[in-house]
Chains A and B, each alone.
Chain A
């Protein structure tokens, strides 16, 4: 019943193409047309896959390097120092130099480790990160795979990264790693509930699991602005859960430096360590991108229902700028947490989830459903 109402609501806003808005759709369409004109259908798929793979890997590398650099700069500013400033302008190439160093280092495998799982774990974690890039809309019409269950896909696939971490912790044959992996397992599994429930709030409001639909539903205002307080609560819970899911301070118990030296990746070195490190930043990017998409409208410019002139001006800013701006803002928020808060203890961490966040988000979901049924949102 409720779903029906929501679904019918969804179809009412006009979805006419926004001519003003800068779009990458043209480029993708042009490539698609050119390929279909010149190649047989199978080859079109293969070539397009190759392009996507190259783009994904390229994005992966660039994002990883940029985010590490950004983290260092943010940390430096919060800690009254300069951060990297020698290699390249403003130290931009510092992270590339570090990566080069890590590639050249020997990737040690401990004697007692389970060699196969030990070497597989970083790739599992990284592949999960890559898979999650698929449904994210980077700009208007620029999306790898607009799957109709996008949000479900993200929730499902992101849970897999815990397997990589558990694998790493177990296969290392190190007590610190094992403790870190155990903590990480408990933590990610619990916080996924809150994250999932807060995402569900938006699914209820927009009536679709598809990322494009969720973004289009925010044409006359982002959900955080038009969803009243329950959506803001959902957003706050989502940010907390996202921080926990990516094992970032103050929830970095899995690698708690002062307790478990480096937690699950204590035994990793060289490029295998770098993959974990990179995956951490990609995961941050992804959760922030999801947060930006469902709460802050993704690539959708700041529109306010009824203010035509204002909306037109906002449309002049390219959609990719909107998307990356919002995502980077959320990333900055998460970095800010890391450099301000001390770490929680393991029992406090689980108490926070099971005793506070989960009941709140359950109740919140109820409220949001009520709002959606009664059509109280703007």
Chain B
């Protein structure tokens, strides 16, 4: 990866290109606001941003290449490490692609469990985003509020999946194990906890004058640009783009539940904030509809021990907490994929960053980056 001399060379190169009065600073790869090893080279004129250049690759593990030598059962585990905050949904996308290729019918119970887990993951991910974003703006307390709820979800996950972050719970044909007997009770308790506390979020952050001033009109992304930059998830929906895969091409039991696709038209940081807060509430709505009706039955379809995909190309899309995740498998008929491509939401969303922050202040960069909800392993893969 980048050596020390490499980084120095990079900076001096860019600095040499900068004209008089410009200041080139490196935000990252170690920086409190990038939440990971993202490296942004910012050209400043005083406090005003002239250009933002992302440099990636600090956590690039070349998962796509690794997957080419892993079997269809093995490669799912690696994908938990992409967008680690949406680990369930990543696994889900991969399992779905394999099922689509092999035409495996997933039992109803497994479908319910998958959707429940996806939505819990989405809430957990948005909770973390909320805390981290507030921290980017200099408010520390929301982080702890967010973790109070997120911790409950992690405990629920741990009981059923055995892990708190990289769950590896979804397998081709269903889920790996049945639900923990306490699952339904604990999820209901969580819903109650969440409903009691969600108003605190608004009191502490949403209504704050300083917060609104920092967010409104910042990092504007028009609808046309959001589409052109390939943005997805809350980032695109805040600009008024209908892009919720759960609505556009419903998978599993999403077609049977009622929920709204949250749309805002302002396209600024505050709109993105509102979309995510509303999405948490929608996720809770989905969970409430499903939690009482989990059907009895198998949690996994009967599959062969060694999976062999037919020759062909298979693509499936899911909605992760950050946007649209696409899994593209090219199969030559063997037990391992010939080529696999993960279309990660963060990569496209990041590409819009430069466009969004040009001409604004350094503080706005943090506010915009916070609402893009970047997870660096998801961008780098």
Contacts and interface: CB of A to CB of B under 8 A. Distances in A.
Contact of A250 (B25, B32, B204, B210): B210
Contact of A341 (B135, B139, B143, B363): B139
Interface in A252-278: 252-253, 256-261
A346 B44 CA distance: 14
A105 interface: no
Interface in B315-335: none
Interface string B356-368: 0000011111100
Residue among B23, B33, B134 with the most chain A CB within 10 A? B33
A179 B47 contact: yes
Contacts of A183: 47
A113 to B, nearest CB: 17
A250 B208 CA distance: 12
B60 interface: no
Given A78-B141, A249-B138, A346-B47, A341 B210 contact: yes
A258 B135 contact: yes
A259 B364 CA distance: 9
B137 A342 contact: yes
Given A175-B25, A345-B363, A348-B213, A258 B144 contact: no
Contacts, number: 87
Contact of B145 (A80, A345, A348): A80
Nearest to B48: A347
Contact of B214 (A80, A261, A339, A342): A342
A79 interface: yes
Nearest to B205: A342
B47 A75 contact: no
A250 B364 CA distance: 15
Interface string B137-178: 111110111001000000000000000000000000000000
Contact of A252 (B134, B138, B144, B214): B138
B11 to A, nearest CB: 10
A256 B141 contact: no
A156 to B, nearest CB: 29
Interface string A282-319: 00000000000000000000000000000000000000
Interface residues of B, number: 32
B140 A345 contact: no
A260 to B, nearest CB: 8
A259 B140 contact: no
B136 interface: yes
A301 to B, nearest CB: 35
Interface string A65-85: 000000000010011110000
Contacts of B143: 79
A259 to B, nearest CB: 5
B208 A345 contact: no
A102 interface: no
B362 A340 contact: no
B32 A257 contact: yes
Residue among B138, B365, B366 with the most chain A CB within 10 A? B138
A258 B138 contact: yes
A345 B141 contact: no
A344 interface: yes
A78 B145 CA distance: 10
A80 B137 contact: no
A343 interface: yes
Contact of A258 (B23, B136, B148): B136
A176 B32 CA distance: 13
Nearest to A347: B361
B80 to A, nearest CB: 28
A61 B340 CA distance: 61
A342 B363 contact: no
Contacts of B137: 258, 342-343
A348 B25 CA distance: 23
Interface string A323-353: 0000000000000000111111111100000
A183 B361 CA distance: 13
Interface residues of A, number: 29
Contacts of A344: 210, 213-214
Given A258-B33, A342-B211, A348-B213, A79 B138 contact: no
Contact of A259 (B141, B148, B210, B362): B362
Given A80-B145, A259-B362, A340 B139 contact: yes
Nearest to A257: B32
Residue among B135, B205, B214 with the most chain A CB within 10 A? B214
A79 to B, nearest CB: 4
Contacts of A249: 138-139
Contacts of A250: 138, 210
A340 B205 CA distance: 9
B31 interface: yes
A75 B365 CA distance: 27
B208 A342 contact: yes
A79 B141 contact: yes
A261 B141 CA distance: 18
B44 to A, nearest CB: 8
Contacts of A80: 144-145, 148
B32 A258 contact: yes
Interface in B260-303: none
Contact of A340 (B144, B204, B364): B204
Interface in B196-235: 204-205, 208, 210-211, 213-214
A176 B144 CA distance: 28
Contacts of A348: 210, 213-214
A249 B211 CA distance: 13
B144 A81 contact: yes
Given A79-B140, A346-B47, A341 B361 contact: no
Contacts of B205: 342
Interface of B: 23-25, 31-33, 47, 134-141, 143-145, 148, 204-205, 208, 210-211, 213-214, 361-366
Interface of A: 75, 78-81, 175-176, 179, 183, 249-250, 252-253, 256-261, 339-348
Given A253-B363, A342-B138, 11 more contacts: A75-B141, A80-B148, A176-B25, A250-B210, A256-B363, A261-B31, A339-B141, A341-B208, A342-B211, A347-B47, A348-B213
18 contacts: A78-B141, A80-B145, A179-B23, A252-B138, A256-B138, A257-B138, A258-B135, A258-B366, A261-B32, A341-B138, A341-B139, A342-B134, A342-B210, A343-B137, A343-B138, A344-B210, A344-B214, A346-B363
Counting from the closest, the 9 A-B pairs by CB-CB distance are A343-B138, A342-B137, A79-B144, A345-B363, A258-B33, A342-B139, A258-B136, A175-B25, A342-B211
